Structure 1
């Protein structure tokens, strides 16, 4: 009975096998199933491979800036050709409304689509080639967060309104090779000028507006739409904080970034805070102590011996300047004791350390054009206890940017939720849970101690509770080479040239800290080969935090 009923329904409309073939071909096209489309055609018999077949469709889709295609029911067009109404949604030309003509042939008694290049896009006739002419609208003005103009549009990228704006606006230029295919699919002309650095690059999609032009089948117009300019784009940058970051950086090689913990809005980015990957040094101890507290291998009141070094795998790891260091975990964190944190990392093990780092954003793309990804080696590639201990104090093969480490500080500020940074005002990219509020509060108290009596006292601001962590990352082996057996000749004049420090200076932190106050700014400071974090980077952070508050 069920079979009879089904047969009665289907029998209501007899569909010839050739018509069903045309509809199956169109349905596979709607799904984007190129292999299924290929199997329904005579293309293989004609010597066309699936690879070249797929390439033809992808080229047509890119040319048309296609997003989606929809087909109606097939109709017999006569001469073993079936027509289907088609609607192709495109980025640059609106919706192309036309029809698809599907010719059918037979191979060994089985119907097959008689394939030719006219089938790569609906509406093509024999001998026609799909092509386009596109253009961009005038580039939108770029604004600071207070709506002050930073760059005025199309050809004005060199006309930033202030030194602070000029430092971050960036430039326009020819399309880079690695973006050519993606921009072509958007409808951007090959000779267009696009953002290649700074905010012009980061916010290029918003500033560029919508391409427009004419989509052509041979000499016939299939669809057209004029380019559409974007409204003025408001960035997250505070020109006041940006100027403070520039002044504090003072032309030195490095990066300074300030961001709102809530929402991840970047207030300032001076130097190389997005692209400058360096070992983060002791700022990474924020992650190490978080992992230790989570695993319950340590606690704030746990006491550690006061010593100048710790030995892992027979190799001594010294505290900065060989100083004696230890006490409670809080005191050890405040004074940045390698003699405590390297063994703590080894006790944790590579798997737990790497897992914590990933929750804080390591090995995850930042989602901002031009921003480098902070990295830590896979747990099974780090190595022995010495390598794990070195990683735990931000050395070894650990690499981060000032932006990434500012995000680590902001995560503690937000009770363990990691914000995703943005340069577009009003954009909300959400947060990721990195650790529990309880652990974040414990780490916050340790970061407060760093600024009150530890290595980061130079970041203190009267009347403001600041939480922070210094870092002094070694860039090369600091062990002294043995003295030369042969002394230089007294007759040979010698000139002593001071060498730059072999350490990067770091500071990350936020303010106001404490349960009762909502944190308003988090900072990351990196100064390459500049010395110690507490003496060099912490004062920079103080200036930027003060300006942001």
Structure 2
């Protein structure tokens, strides 16, 4: 055999080896990842050939599949679509999946390995294959109350069971109707998608867990307080400076004022408890400067800042800035500068304090059941972190009760039930109206619910808005929906 033919033979052999290797990689190694891609049209088309499992809230389907007279066989339907869109997400032939539809797709589509023997039985008995149903932790009453209380204002509400981490309400506003993306008229679906993308209010953004994160404002003072108490250098009655204004160190003429431009106590002094109750900016800026950036950063991380989390949707990590100079540190201690959070993170802060310092891992799905209603899997509560000691959590709880009883959070009071809370206002750009917050839990002595509420740009109250006047009444209604008969 001459040299050119031998070389050609080697090239052909190498090409066959490469082809064999590539096909092996695709068919075996990468097969699951490719099948699980949200936009895989072949997988999506196959999934329409059988009934997709339902997504359930309080025993009723908020997402199910109905027989269709076209080639797709089944039509996904969302009952009260906008109400639950933040949880269910969408199931679309063109745009794939989001929310629980994506996170639990293997169960809902019936392709999970845990359903293998059930699929095999269906084949042998000639039964129609069907996906599993998914039971959410959301409580219909709480979700409805939270949605109605927030109304048409832009923002979000998250409610948790502090003892388990179960998500009781997940509301983002404005919302959208997943039915707009689930149709079989592809032209119409594309038009709906483009309209949602062009909407300046960004209804496709789930504000509870992502999007452009929010500055927490004074709700972050819970983290600063926790760091102070954990340090052992401070007690609830420790005295702090609380003047009407404070010159930021390292600046020539930059001052931080209190909200009302008044001292927080006689002689420009206040206790730590009173500073939290009246949300004294100057006291907390001084406290942050004394504690240092590392102490605040470490305490924030213990509540979940910077940590990856899935509920099953991926949650954008909240952030506390690094390498702060003194003015930046003072502002960060009151939840400004570059501190950024999700509403879920703020709810986790209150939930951890409510639960004796133990932050439970939040979750949205309680149980997965097959078509015979047999349980396939269930979510057990698990600890996410130990944010503070039980003693410090007890001190924080009492201080937060003081915020509601005698401080800025009086609009969150529930008759006959002790409520713990913290208000917040957050600047987010020069000339823009502040965002307003409330976070807290109830009953304070035996917590059943922890909540976080944010209303963007002051909501309907505009310039007159505060966490006390706008966010606290919303939180009150949500907590009442859980704790009142």
Which TM-score band (shorter chain)? 0.7 to 0.9
Alpha-carbon spacing, 1:357–1:175, altered in 2? closer, same or farther (3 Å): farther
> Does 1:138 find its partner at 2:81?
no
The answer on whether the counterparts of 1:164 and 1:239 sit within 8 Å (CA) in structure 2 is: no
Q: 144, 148, 170: which is aligned to 2:60? A: 148
* CA deviation string 1:291-349 (max 9, x = no partner): 11111232111122342122222331111132321421101001111111111111111
Q: Measure, in 1, the Cα distance between the counterparts of 2:97 and 2:81.
A: 19
Higher relative contact order (CA 8 A, sep 6+): 2
Q: TM-score, normalised by structure 2?
A: 0.72
User: How far did 1:548 drift?
Assistant: 1.6
The answer on whether the counterparts of 2:52 and 2:130 sit within 8 Å (CA) in structure 1 is: yes
User: How far did 1:135 drift?
Assistant: 3.0
User: How far did 1:433 drift?
Assistant: 1.2
Q: Measure, in 2, the Cα distance between the counterparts of 1:444 and 1:240.
A: 26
Q: 290, 314, 319: which is aligned to 2:258? A: 319
The answer on whether the counterparts of 2:209 and 2:344 sit within 8 Å (CA) in structure 1 is: yes
Q: Secondary structure at the match of 1:410?
A: helix
Q: Measure, in 1, the Cα distance between the counterparts of 2:18 and 2:238.
A: 64
- Structure 2: runs of 5+ lacking an equivalent: 1-9, 37-41, 67-73, 114-122, 173-206, 367-377, 459-464
Alpha-carbon spacing, 1:345–1:132, altered in 2? closer, same or farther (3 Å): closer
In structure 1, the partner of 2:192 is none
> Does 1:264 find its partner at 2:165?
yes
Q: 365, 380, 384: which is aligned to 2:325? A: 384
The answer on whether the counterparts of 1:157 and 1:169 sit within 8 Å (CA) in structure 2 is: no
Q: Measure, in 1, the Cα distance between the counterparts of 2:392 and 2:403.
A: 17
In structure 1, the partner of 2:219 is 283
Q: Measure, in 2, the Cα distance between the counterparts of 1:133 and 1:338.
A: 53
Q: 48, 60, 64: which is aligned to 2:27? A: 60
Alpha-carbon spacing, 1:149–1:325, altered in 2? closer, same or farther (3 Å): same
Q: 88, 91, 101: which is aligned to 1:172? A: 91
User: How far did 1:173 drift?
Assistant: 1.4
In structure 2, the partner of 1:522 is 450
In structure 1, the partner of 2:469 is 535
- Structure 1: runs of 5+ lacking an equivalent: 1-42, 67-89, 92-130, 177-193, 213-223, 479-500
> Does 1:210 find its partner at 2:111?
yes
Alpha-carbon spacing, 1:132–1:300, altered in 2? closer, same or farther (3 Å): closer
Q: Measure, in 2, the Cα distance between the counterparts of 1:52 and 1:413.
A: 59
The answer on whether the counterparts of 1:165 and 1:239 sit within 8 Å (CA) in structure 2 is: no
Q: Secondary structure at the match of 2:279?
A: coil
Q: Measure, in 2, the Cα distance between the counterparts of 1:175 and 1:443.
A: 49
Alpha-carbon spacing, 1:53–1:159, altered in 2? closer, same or farther (3 Å): closer
Alpha-carbon spacing, 1:306–1:397, altered in 2? closer, same or farther (3 Å): closer
The answer on whether the counterparts of 2:240 and 2:287 sit within 8 Å (CA) in structure 1 is: no
* CA deviation string 1:246-284 (max 9, x = no partner): 111111100011111122111111112222410011111
Higher helix share: 2
Q: TM-score, normalised by structure 1?
A: 0.64
CA root-mean-square deviation: 3.4
User: How far did 1:58 drift?
Assistant: 3.2
Q: Measure, in 1, the Cα distance between the counterparts of 2:415 and 2:44.
A: 62
Q: Measure, in 2, the Cα distance between the counterparts of 1:54 and 1:316.
A: 66
The answer on whether the counterparts of 2:100 and 2:312 sit within 8 Å (CA) in structure 1 is: no
The answer on whether the counterparts of 1:465 and 1:511 sit within 8 Å (CA) in structure 2 is: yes
Q: Measure, in 1, the Cα distance between the counterparts of 2:11 and 2:289.
A: 60
> Does 1:504 find its partner at 2:435?
yes
User: How far did 1:156 drift?
Assistant: 5.2
The answer on whether the counterparts of 2:91 and 2:97 sit within 8 Å (CA) in structure 1 is: yes
Q: Measure, in 2, the Cα distance between the counterparts of 1:166 and 1:373.
A: 18
Q: 386, 389, 395: which is aligned to 2:336? A: 395
> Does 1:296 find its partner at 2:213?
no
Give the structure with higher Rg (CA): 1
Q: Secondary structure at the match of 1:258?
A: strand
> Does 1:195 find its partner at 2:97?
yes
Q: Measure, in 1, the Cα distance between the counterparts of 2:365 and 2:417.
A: 28
Alpha-carbon spacing, 1:204–1:351, altered in 2? closer, same or farther (3 Å): same
* CA deviation string 1:387-436 (max 9, x = no partner): 11111111111111111100110000111111111110151251121111
In structure 1, the partner of 2:148 is 247
The answer on whether the counterparts of 1:525 and 1:541 sit within 8 Å (CA) in structure 2 is: yes
* More moved, 235-244 vs 224-233: 224-233
Alpha-carbon spacing, 1:133–1:433, altered in 2? closer, same or farther (3 Å): closer
Number of residue pairs the alignment of both structures matches: 390
Q: Measure, in 2, the Cα distance between the counterparts of 1:246 and 1:345.
A: 36
Pairs within 5 Å for 1:15-94: 57-62=24-29, 64-65=31-32
Q: Secondary structure at the match of 1:472?
A: strand
Alpha-carbon spacing, 1:60–1:298, altered in 2? closer, same or farther (3 Å): same
Q: Measure, in 1, the Cα distance between the counterparts of 2:474 and 2:467.
A: 10
Alpha-carbon spacing, 1:247–1:378, altered in 2? closer, same or farther (3 Å): closer
In structure 2, the partner of 1:427 is 379
User: How far did 1:53 drift?
Assistant: 9.1
Alpha-carbon spacing, 1:252–1:337, altered in 2? closer, same or farther (3 Å): same
